[in-house]
Amino acid sequence: MFPDCSLSRMLRPFCATLLLTGAAFAPGLQGADEVLTPFTADHSEHDFTTGLHHLMGNVDINVPGLMRLQCDDFRGLVPASSAEATNAVMTAAGQVRLHLTSKPKGTNAPVQLLAMADQAVYTGTNEMFVLTGNPKVVSAFGTLTGSIIRYDVGANKAFAENYRFVPNATLLTNLLDRARQKTSPGGSGSK
């Protein structure tokens, strides 16, 4: 079951779209020219029996408003239907840049982050991206680095090993200013 988060909802149709998208896959398919092809690459191989897709060189997978993945090499074991998308396994390697926009449950504002690594692996079973090889996650709160970073899509949380977090300077300054105002004479926190 997918949690109620726009990114999770996006991955279900994205997996099925990889299988049946655009004129590049099905030149004889009625209306294929009208279907948005959400990815480009220099070379590609598609096994329609197993659902394995391999995109090579300048890979750019773009689902507007939700996700953009850029890398050198992408392999995805994509299920035949969106109902089976929890079985999706996707691996991106070589200068991976993953822009994610999600709207966590109970919020109105979208959350945006940029994840970079030498390799990113996504598994639909636990809705988790695992970033390795100089991983870095940049958000409005700051920059997280570590030896391994796991990003839970449904919970919108990152977990890092051997981590370093550098807070966003503007955010930190604003928090410190508010704290100073509350503790200074005449501030809202004084008696």
94 pLDDT above the threshold of 60? yes
Task: Please write down the HEC assignment for all residues of the chain.
Answer: CCCCCHHHHHHHHHHHHHHHCHHHHCCCCCCHHHCCCCEECCEEEEECCCCEEEEEEEEEEEECCCEEEEEEEEEEECCCCHHHHHHCEEEEEEEEEEEEEECCCCCCCCEEEEEEEEEEEEECCCCEEEEECCCEEEECCEEEECCEEEEECCCCEEEEECCEEEECHHHHHHHHHHHHHHHCCCCCCCC
| pLDDT single digits (tens) 32-69 | 444 455 788 999 998 888 888 899 999 998 877 778 99
Neighbours of 149 (CB within 10 A): 23
Task: Please write down the HEC assignment for all residues of 7-43.
Answer: HHHHHHHHHHHHHHCHHHHCCCCCCHHHCCCCEECCE
Mean pLDDT of 81-102: 78
Angle at 65 between CA 93 and CA 118, to 5 degrees: 15
| pLDDT single digits (tens) 97-127 | 999 887 766 777 778 899 999 999 988 888 8
Mean pLDDT of 151-156: 84
Domain map of the chain by residue range? Answer: 6-183
Token digits of residue 150: 């796991």
Tell me, rounded to whole angstroms, the distance of Cα 151 from its chain centroid. Answer: 8
| Contacts (Cβ under 8 Å, ≥6 apart) of 33 | 23
Q: Which one of 2.60.40.3140, 1.10.3720.10, 2.60.450.10, 3.40.50.300 gives the CATH number of domain 6-183?
A: 2.60.450.10
